Amino acid sequence: MSLRYYLTFIDEEPQASPDAFGSRKRGASCPADFRSKEEVRSMWTEACREQALFRSQVAQLRERADHVRDNSQECNTLTAPSLGSVGHPQLCRRPCAHFAKNAGCPRAKHCAFCHLPHRHVSLDKRMREQLASCSEAELLWTLRPHFQRHALANPAAVGFQELLDRNLALHHPQPALPRPSQSWQLLEKRLVRLPLAALVGLCFRVSGHLPGLLQEQLRDFRTGDQ
């Protein structure tokens, strides 16, 4: 008999009762795992891959839902709560500072800024530098698919696409666009989320008549002169 000190007590050392395999019997609630390490590693890798795929699908569905929700909330000159809210959320002006502070706007419906909620979407520093490094032709051809997407979803955006296409046909033959690197793909995803008014603003650094024509088109839409 051997003694042991266990949990402040001195008691007899328990004797192991070997089973037919010469080891302690495994509890019924913990069955043996006969899979190899390679099989376990493969199952874990596959589970991680499926989880990443599901997360990507959820993110895409969320973006589509936001796009549908935004288009369903578009305001015209009759339903807009302020002059700056016309065309919300794609063609309105920037948010009113009074509403950003949860305070009432003293100008009410005559305010030149938007009185409706906005999703904050903007380009970060690296994305702005990427666009700044593009030539005028590269910039406009990069933005063209996004103008087309807005034109398909909103008839009010067709005029902006027509102005851009006319300018490209006259002055900017299609160049060889940069290869789709990871940073460029991130830029494209952010451009998808930008409202049409922000895309129009990116065209203002181009020389020629295009910036003025786009600005006039935007002003006519907001004032209801179309």
Return per-residue pLDDT of the chain as tens, 226 residues: 677 766 667 777 676 655 544 555 555 565 666 667 788 788 888 888 888 877 777 666 666 555 544 544 556 655 678 888 888 888 888 888 887 677 788 888 889 899 888 888 889 999 999 999 999 999 999 999 999 999 998 888 999 999 999 999 999 998 887 667 888 899 999 999 999 999 999 999 999 999 999 999 999 888 765 5
Q: Mean pLDDT score of the chain, rounded to an integer?
A: 81
Residues ≥6 apart with Cβ < 8 Å to 196: 90, 91, 147, 150, 154, 157, 160
- 54: three-class secondary structure by DSSP: helix
Q: What is the pTM of this model?
A: 0.62
List beta partners, residue 91: none
What is the per-residue pLDDT for 121?
87
Structure tokens at 149: 């997407």
Give the SS3 label for residue 197.
helix
Which of these, 201, 132, 213, lies nearest to 165 by C-alpha position?
213
**Roughly what angle, to the nearest 10 degrees, separates helices 158-171 and 210-223?**
170
What is the tens place of the pLDDT at every residue in 145-166? 999 999 998 888 999 999 999 9
Using one digit for the tens of pLDDT, what is the confidence trace for 38-61? 887 888 888 888 888 777 776 666
Per the listing, tokens 């295009």 go with: 210
Cα separation, 150 vs 189, in Å, equals: 15
Model pLDDT, residue 1: 63
Token output for 36: 């190899």
Per-domain boundaries in the chain: 72-120, 122-226
Report the pLDDT value the prediction gives residue 53, as an integer from 0 to 100: 79
Q: Which residues pair with 114 in a beta bridge?
A: 95
Tokens 């994305």, residue?
Answer: 127
The predicted structure's pLDDT at residue 49:
84
DSSP E strands in the chain: the ranges are 3-6, 9-12
